[in-house]
Amino acid sequence: MKQSAVKLFVRAFMKSFFLVIILSSVGVLSYWSVMHFWDIPEAVSQKKEIIIKNEKKPITEAIIEDISKNLIFCYNEETGEITKILLEIFHCEEKKMQYITIPVRTQFTMSETFYQRMVLVHPTIPQVIRLSNIHKYFDLDTVYDYGVLILEDLLQLKFSYYTAIPQSIYETIFITEGKTETTTENRGDLGISFKEVFSEEYKKFLRSMKTAEELREYIKEIYPSLRSNLSLYGKMNYLDSYCRTPLNKITFDIIQGTDKNSAYYIDVEMAKDQINQYIAGN
């Protein structure tokens, strides 16, 4: 009796097993037939969906222009703090260059539309921001891209590309020149006219370069130490114009604005006129 019961159980189990296999096969074949007949695309796998979502466009893209506008950041290698900001405007055809100092103490209010975009990136970012604090709200991989966008919002100007220079290298190129102006009663500062200029050592170094190949090798050597959205190949597009630009055609200025309560406030209209006049060749 026990053997008969076992045989009956095995037969029943096998029938059930084959029935499941048959029904599963019918289901798969039916699905394939419907998808094939109606030409319905299969759903993208979860892995592919993740890859597609992660394929984001660059935050900023470099542009090679006849009149380039390179936004330069100097940063502390240990803290990531942005310590200096310069705008380099270069006329490739006219072979002249101007550096405009933008004080990192600059404080301004982001436009409402732009601020709403930034809140999505970092919810705690304030609408009234000081340029020296930008690094607190973005990681190292994106801080300069967002720094570019913030300054574009402030100056209403589109930059060609950016270059972030470690402070140890920056200080071999630029020094701060200027003085603090005070009232006759010596009761406080009227304004700070500090601006960044080439150091004497760097000017001697540039004068020592006699060939384009020497300048090419210098750029190739220093470029890996910098951060930029312009590739080394893109930078080399300016090589011939750099070689033909004399030092007496390189000038230095500070962005139009005023000092008040330990902060710098850019006069946007005057600053736009200042930049546009130089871009126009005046």
The structural domains of the chain, with segments of one domain joined by +, span 2-54, 67-279
What confidence score (pLDDT) does residue 35 get? 43
* Contact yes or no for 196/176 (Cβ under 8 A): yes
Q: Maximum Cα–Cα distance for the chain, whole Å? A: 120
Q: Which two tokens stand for residue 23?
A: 């029904």
Residue pLDDT, tens place only, 11-52? 554 555 444 444 444 454 444 444 444 444 444 444 444 333
What confidence score (pLDDT) does residue 4 get? 52
Q: Which residues of the chain have pLDDT under 50?
A: 1-3, 5-6, 8-10, 13, 17-26, 28-55, 182-190
CATH topology for 67-279 is Nucleotidyltransferase; domain 5 (3.30.420)
- Predicted model pTM: 0.77
Classified as helix, coil or strand, 34 is: helix
Q: Which two tokens stand for residue 188?
A: 């406080």
What confidence score (pLDDT) does residue 207 get? 94
What confidence score (pLDDT) does residue 241 get? 95
* Contact yes or no for 162/60 (Cβ under 8 A): yes
What confidence score (pLDDT) does residue 16 get? 52
What confidence score (pLDDT) does residue 51 get? 39
Helix axes 268-279, 143-155, angle to 10 degrees: 100
Backbone angles phi, psi at 97, to 5 degrees: -140, 145
